[in-house]
Amino acid sequence: MTNLTLSIDDDLLKQSRLYAVQHDTSVNALVREYLESLISKSKDAEQAGRLKEIEEMNRFLDEVAAKAQVPDGYRWNREDAYEGRLPRWNKE
């Protein structure tokens, strides 16, 4: 574990020590727990954002599939993707 030196107002440190004693912990543990919760919240928010993006993409893909009248479970292949372009490039 690494040591960290902080500058803190004297009155705030006194109040923090009193709070720590009342809650059977230390100022060091309070700071560590605060930083851990801050990082955890950030990771949770990031993950929630990713899930929201995935849900939005799935809704979009469902809309596209419905408009294109794609049967459920259909798997696209390479030939489907290039079907309209092949004649233009493969002039015989």
DSSP state, residue 16: H
Its pTM surpasses 0.85? no
What residue numbers bound the domain in which 80 lies? 13-87
Report yes or no on 4 lying in a domain.
no
- Whether 8 maps to a domain, the answer reads no
What is residue 84's predicted lDDT score, i.e. its pLDDT? 65
Q: Please indicate, yes or no, if residue 45 is contained in any of the structural domains.
A: yes
Answer whether residue 43 is part of any domain.
Answer: yes
Distance CA 12, CA 17 (A): 9
Residue 76 lies in a domain: yes
User: From the CA atom positions of the chain, what is the Rg in Å?
Assistant: 29
Residue 35 belongs to a domain: yes
Tell me how many domains the chain contains.
1
The percentage of the chain sitting over the pLDDT mark of 70, rounded to a whole number, equals 88
Domain contains 7 = no
Q: Which residue has the tokens 């372009």?
A: 85
